[in-house]
Chains A and B, each alone.
Chain A
Amino acid sequence: MLGSLDDGNMVRNDTVDRRSYLRAVAAGGVAVGLAGCNGNGNGEGGVEVAFEIETGEEYGFGVREGESDLQGALDDGLQAARQDDVYSDLIEEYFGNGDDAGDVTEGADGGTGAGTITPGTAPGFAPFEFKEGGELTGFDVELTEAIVARTDYEFGGFEEFEFDSLIPALQDGNIDMIAAAMTITDDRDEQIDFSNAYYEANQAVLVSSSSDIDPSGREDLEGRVVGAQSGTTGEGEVDKLIEDGIISEDDKRIYDNYELAVNDLESGNVDAVIIDVPVAENFAER
């Protein structure tokens, strides 16, 4: 079950066996910590954004294929949330000065006649979705509540899944929409439908502040070990580096969660990690 502990941070391509992979990584991390090797990701030295990659990537809400009513309602709800300044308040709360946006359903004029929708998300991706004091919160979570309150649908409460389980859960009817910082890609668009984009995020290349590596462009990553979270756009960017011959397949490290990737970056096991800009800035500031 545990796969191999000794190559705990290796690339893993199947999407199902995530749990055992995390356990391998976690066990590896504990082993490294106990062995007393340098650092254990306690923020010593910290990380910084070396440069950004313009991907033009946009996040959208996912709905089942053909559910154009819901899709249209979400687009209108997003528009209404922007007009009510709830959208900009949430941007300030999660990416700006941190001021609480307050009650996001205030001033909403939606109904509940069109039925209940249950959104799904994958907590563990601050500031978009994470758990705090046992409660689910984050930019996507509050924005979803704000938007649904501005449609004719009733908000049915979030269900939580692993990121890779979200699309199956949507197709299977466990949830009615995905609000999980999900980038609109052609591959995903073949499986599900997306609302209009609600967030634009480029990718950031994070490096350790204490390392002597200071890349200023993709070419500077030549021969480096680069990591990302499984299934994210960051992983796509790592793949592009491989396609372009900048790094070799062996130098790709994929993690179950970006947190573990940054932990490994601080420990010096990878040279760079590619993640969304707002998330990267969150780390660079801590």
Chain B
Amino acid sequence: MDILPLQAGDWAFVGTNWWILMQGLYVTVLLTVGSLLLGFLAGFPGGAIEVYGRGPLRSVVRGVGVLLRGTPIVVLIVLFFFGVQWPDIGAVPLGGLLPLPAFEINGQALLASTAALGLRSAAYQSQVFRGAIRSIDEGQLEAARSVGLSKLEAVRHVVVPQALRRSIPGFQNEFTIVLKDTSIAFAVGLAELLTRGFELFTQPAGQTAVVEIILTVSAIYFVLTFLTNRTLDRVENRFAIPTGE
């Protein structure tokens, strides 16, 4: 067994091209935030409808959720990109803030990737919220009704505030999954972090730096995931439902 022969010259190559990885990181963060936001905006009502909804609306939400959860994300992204006629918004300029040089990404690829990752995330987040809502004792709803709140008010003021707090651990999981799955946007040519790493080691000067580049990209994903999980841990503790102890 040899010791891992990582080479100083290859690390220097990563060093001089760090800004290319940072441009990729920019797109990765943008895609993660956009997808999670879309996932929350669609997933939270989705979860509520699955619990309180009636009739065809609930059936539709359930059906769509099952479809989205049951399809591999790469298939979804390719389908959304090639199967949906997105408005041609052209190239989206990004960066330009020092020290990050300005660059452009394919707008349609960004829309398709955000939609695919966001809706898939909505399907998962709806289950996180459904579980969190279900975890609030039915008796609380009855108690709220007995003091004169309407059903909507009871859900809005009694159940939701507690359910949101209880959904943080599940949401944390979902965040990590979406962050890492943004790398699949590579399939439609969106220049996110992994694509940028790929760009680096397929150019003649970087051909010996494959492992160094992949290790760097892995480290960036790890740092992002670690920091966000720690932050969400704090948020969870800060907003934990008081136990009265």
Residues of A at the B interface (CB closer than 8 Å) are 1, 16-20, 22-23, 26, 29-30, 33-44, 123-127, 130-134, 157, 159-162, 165, 168-169, 172, 174, 257, 259-260, 262-263, 282-283, 286
Contact = CB atoms under 8 A, between A and B. Distances in A.
Contacts of A165: 78, 187-189
A222 to B, nearest CB: 30
B56 interface: no
A136 to B, nearest CB: 9
B202 A41 contact: no
Contacts, number: 128
Contacts of B108: 174
A29 B184 contact: no
A257 B195 CA distance: 12
Contacts of A36: 1-4
Nearest to B199: A131
A42 B10 contact: yes
Given A124-B199, A259-B202, A42 B187 contact: no
B199 A40 contact: no
Nearest to B106: A159
B235 interface: no
Interface of B: 1-7, 10, 17, 20, 23, 72-75, 78, 82, 91, 101, 103, 106, 108, 181, 183-184, 186-189, 191, 194, 198-205, 207-208, 210-211, 214-215, 218
B1 A41 contact: no
A44 B205 CA distance: 16
B207 to A, nearest CB: 6
Nearest to B195: A160
Contact of B198 (A30, A257, A262): A257
Nearest to A256: B198
B202 A130 contact: yes
A161 B188 contact: yes
A19 B184 contact: yes
B90 to A, nearest CB: 10
Minimum-distance CB pairs A-B, first 9: A124-B202, A131-B199, A160-B189, A43-B208, A19-B184, A161-B189, A40-B211, A130-B203, A33-B211
A130 B198 contact: no
A263 B2 contact: no
Contacts of B207: 43, 126, 259, 262, 283, 286
Contacts of A17: 72, 74-75
B74 A19 contact: yes
Contact of A33 (B4, B191, B205): B4
A126 B203 contact: yes
A39 B208 CA distance: 12
B23 to A, nearest CB: 7
17 contacts: A18-B187, A20-B184, A30-B211, A30-B215, A34-B4, A37-B2, A41-B210, A41-B211, A126-B203, A127-B204, A134-B101, A159-B106, A159-B189, A165-B78, A174-B82, A174-B108, A257-B202
Most A C-beta atoms less than 10 A away, residue of B3, B17, B202: B202
B74 A16 contact: yes
Contacts of A19: 74, 183-184, 186-187
Nearest to A43: B208
